[in-house]
Amino acid sequence: MTSVQSLTRLPCGNRVLDLAQTHVMGILNVTPDSFSDGGRYSQLDAALRHAEAMVAAGATLIDVGGESTRPGARAVSPLEELERVAPIVELIARELDVIISVDTSTPAVMRETARLGAGLINDVRSLRRDGALDAAAATGLPVCLMHMLGEPGDMQDDPRYEDVTREVGEFLVERMAVCESAGIPAERIVLDPGFGFAKTLQHNLSLFKHMEALHALGRPLLVGVSRKSMIGHALNRPVGERLHGGLALAALASVKGARILRVHDVAETVDVVRMLAAVESAE
């Protein structure tokens, strides 16, 4: 049985994340083709400045990604991804007091960034790439497993579910079992329902509405909906006008028990989290 302590303390390399409270994870895409901020932070100095700003705004984790996973995104080679990600991970680890998450499915990137100071592996493919399971286990780092069917290039072609929340939960249970057999215990796992990945708007809305059902899996939840198309489709807003919808979902996710909110707009989301905490702590 998972202990209360293991639910509230997540060792992340040389730091510990206290999951008794909600944390904000700032997104740092060092890619030229991400859907929202592609190319803005591909230079090392710009990436570090943005990471510094997010930490100053209250982010306790920075999620560094070198491979876009937007629908239709092109694949990149392991070397290209490593060349994008490794220098900024090393720099952040040296300069900032923050947990570094690496958004990757690539075994070589997992191993090298763990050596350079990363504290969390965030894999949209749930360690299904060849060699990823063994690489993640070897790092000793916690892993975020996300639900996705197919690959980013085809995941939105025709996603179908009879009960999206139940099927997402079943997928995550299966991946947790595979991880445990490879030497990654449940205490090192965070779960991400995968909003926007192989899901229609109605799938996303239903999964969000019933998110509490995933607490039965006994692991902390990471929610990433910042600027995503589910907001755009629900509100008829382009990417640059999705902040308010994203903050509404951040507040709702926190109330529903999510412990990590992965966002582009850190300062605004931190205000949401702090306001909720102020209300909850009142007599």
Residues annotated as part of the active site = 228, 262
Cα 247 → chain centroid = 16
Burial class (CB in 10 A: 0-12, 13-18, 19+), 138: middle
Residue 42 and residue 77 in contact, taking contact as beta carbons nearer than 8 Å: no
R_g (Cα) of the chain, nearest Å: 17
Tell me which residue of 268, 266, 260, 262 sits closest to 228, measured CA to CA. Answer: 262
Residue with tokens 């998972």: 2
Q: Among candidates 220, 184, 193, which has minimal Cα distance to 9?
A: 220
Q: Which of 8, 1, 52, 7 is nearest to 26 (CA)?
A: 52
Q: Are 94 and 74 in contact (CB under 8 A)?
A: no
